[in-house]
């Protein structure tokens, strides 16, 4: 129990809850000291309560030095930095491979950091969306992130297909906010022979629902489809085992839970069984050819039998440093420990939200089962606009959450840097901002 168990005044209750939050923070600290937490513009506390790491993660303190070191190498060495920088630029991307693979449960040959998320999804669909005969459809969730919807619709058009009939959007049952696993697997069992590609979000951006990735992957593959995952909201948030789950391909960004900065470089996974397959179409460039052949300057590439064959251009070194810094942090803490703290922190926020939402026009729409969600809790507001509410939370209480119009506000206590006190501030701010029924 977080709250007191005797009759108390409202103010005593609030004070006791705040002390409880401080006690929990002392007992279960995160790594907040490794991050820059923005100053608050409103409210009683000097720093914001930052619950928007599902949108953009905070800056690790180590990132600036990493960037400065890369700049210094360039000023000192010019072109020789390709080979002589402390971390030579030519093979720089290889430094990111093993830690990225650990994070998503992949083998190093299956993982590479490159480009940005939607670019990578397109490059992967060049290989893995190959409509043929009656098998042309792409399955997404109706609440897919809009850019995924744009991407698959444009892929359908690219193949001369009508996006309105090619893209199937799965919707939750009437009166439900999230998809059940059977909603997806039953559809695949019934109509899977028309499906070329299943492309879903591992954690849904809007509801925070964690999909059953292994079950859906198995159902899609059993139906003869290729199964890919957009892991933007899953990577660094929940444990992943992409290799063992037999996922065909996946892509993710690094600016949310991976704290690598706005527009940061993204990651890609291609399952081992597809590596080195000469029958797979791929777009190629300089970095698609095996490293040993890169300077032979021949007209025909010789791609390696690894996911690096999907690389195209030489990578932006200044964008790689922040990803490296971040992945080192994940390696140091470890995803299992992060997930444990995440379950405690999000469970705590859920209990506080239950108190606040009980008599207000607010409802948590994220699944209640901790195994079916990451750290994010999404709240549907019954009155007013989500944008207006998040503005008031920020300016009046220093609480940074994120609005998805018209009526969803998302709160993500991130286990690396969020605190129990941040969670308490969310509940306190909502109680002060949203009128009771
Ligand atoms: C689930 C999901 N997919 C795709 C994107 C878009 O990614 P990008 O613009 O980096 O390609 C986002 C951005 O927030 C996202 O949340």
Cα–Cα nearest to 39, from 26, 21, 58? 58
- Cα-to-centroid distance, 203 and ligand 1 (Å): 12
340 CB-near residues (< 8 Å, 6+ apart) = none
Average pLDDT rounded to a whole number, residues 15-42: 95
Q: What is the pLDDT of residues 396-428, one digit of tens each?
A: 999 999 999 999 999 999 999 999 999 999 999
Among 202, 253, 323, 404, residue to substitute to test ligand 1 (most atoms within 8 Å of Cβ): 253
Average pLDDT rounded to a whole number, residues 203-227: 98
Pocket-forming residues, ligand 1, beta carbon under 6 Å:
116-118, 145, 147-148, 201, 205, 230, 232-233, 253
Helix, coil or strand: residue 35: strand
Backbone angles phi, psi at 2, to 5 degrees: -90, -35
Locate the ligand 1 atom nearest the alpha carbon of residue 121 and give its number.
Answer: 11
- Cα-to-centroid distance, 140 and ligand 1 (Å): 14
pLDDT > 60? residue 134:
yes
- Cα-to-centroid distance, 115 and ligand 1 (Å): 13
Helix axes 335-358, 317-333, angle to 10 degrees: 80
Whether the Cβ atoms of residue 240 and residue 261 lie closer than 8 Å to each other: no
The H-assigned helical ranges of 363-419 are 386-397
Percent of the chain, pLDDT > 70? 98
Please spell the DSSP secondary structure of 139-171, one letter per residue: EEETTS-HHHHHHHHHHHHHTT--HHHHEEEE-
Could you report how far apart the first and last alpha carbons of the chain are, in Å? 25
74 assigned ligand-binding residue: no
pLDDT > 50? residue 334:
yes
Give the per-residue pLDDT at 8: 62
Locate the ligand 1 atom nearest the alpha carbon of residue 204 and give its number.
Answer: 1
Give the per-residue pLDDT at 15: 79
Give the per-residue pLDDT at 293: 94
255 assigned ligand-binding residue: yes
407 CB-near residues (< 8 Å, 6+ apart) = 380, 381, 382, 385, 386
pLDDT > 50? residue 16:
yes
Mean pLDDT value across the chain: 96
More confident residue, 16 or 283: 283
Cis link prior to 406 (omega < 30° from 0)? yes
pTM exceeds cut of 0.85: yes
Among 57, 147, 255, residue to substitute to test ligand 1 (most atoms within 8 Å of Cβ): 147
148 assigned ligand-binding residue: yes
The Cβ of residue 157 has, within 10 Å, a number of other Cβ atoms equal to 12
Give the per-residue pLDDT at 12: 73
- Cα-to-centroid distance, 263 and ligand 1 (Å): 10
Percent of the chain, pLDDT > 90? 95
- Cα-to-centroid distance, 252 and ligand 1 (Å): 8
């Amino acid at each position: 129990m977080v709250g007191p168990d005797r009759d108390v005044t409202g103010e005593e209750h609030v004070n006791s809850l705040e002390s409880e939050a401080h006690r929990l923070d002392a007992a279960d600290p995160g790594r907040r000291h490794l991050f820059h937490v923005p100053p608050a513009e409103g409210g009683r506390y000097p720093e914001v309560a930052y619950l928007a790491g599902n949108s953009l993660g905070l800056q690790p303190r180590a990132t600036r030095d990493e960037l400065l070191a890369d700049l210094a190498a360039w000023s000192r060495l010019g072109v020789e930095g390709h080979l002589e920088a402390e971390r030579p630029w030519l093979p720089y991307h290889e430094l990111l491979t093993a830690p990225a693979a650990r994070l998503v449960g992949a083998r190093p040959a299956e993982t590479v950091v490159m480009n940005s998320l939607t670019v990578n999804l397109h490059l992967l669909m060049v290989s893995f969306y190959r409509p043929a005969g009656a098998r042309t459809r792409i399955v997404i969730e109706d609440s897919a992130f809009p850019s995924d919807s744009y991407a698959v619709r444009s892929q359908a058009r690219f193949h001369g297909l009508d996006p309105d009939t090619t893209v199937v959007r799965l919707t939750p049952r009437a009166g439900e906010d999230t998809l059940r696993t059977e909603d997806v697997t039953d559809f695949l069992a019934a109509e899977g022979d028309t499906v070329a590609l299943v492309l879903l979000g591992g954690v849904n951006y809007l509801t925070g629902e964690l999909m059953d990735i292994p079950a859906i992957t198995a159902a899609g593959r059993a139906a003869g489809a290729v199964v890919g995952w957009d892991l933007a909201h899953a990577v660094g948030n929940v444990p992943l085992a992409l290799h063992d789950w037999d996922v065909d391909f996946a892509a993710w960004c690094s600016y949310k839970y991976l704290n690598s900065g706005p527009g940061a470089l993204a990651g890609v996974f291609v399952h081992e069984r597809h590596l080195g397959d000469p029958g797979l179409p791929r777009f190629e460039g300089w970095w698609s050819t095996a490293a040993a052949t890169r300077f032979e300057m021949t007209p025909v590439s010789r791609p390696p039998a690894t996911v690096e064959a999907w690389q195209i251009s030489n990578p932006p070194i200044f964008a790689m440093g922040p990803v490296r810094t971040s992945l080192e942090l994940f390696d140091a803490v470890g995803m299992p420990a992060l997930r444990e703290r995440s379950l405690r922190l999000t469970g705590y926020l859920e209990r506080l939200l239950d108190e606040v939402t009980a008599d207000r026009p607010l409802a948590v729409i994220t699944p209640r089962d901790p195994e079916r969600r990451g750290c994010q809790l999404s709240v549907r507001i019954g009155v007013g606009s989500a944008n207006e509410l998040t503005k008031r939370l920020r300016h009046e209480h220093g609480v940074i959450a994120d609005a998805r119009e018209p009526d969803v506000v998302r709160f993500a206590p991130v286990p690396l840097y969020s605190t129990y006190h941040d969670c308490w501030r969310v509940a306190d701010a909502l109680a002060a901002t949203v009128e009771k029924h």
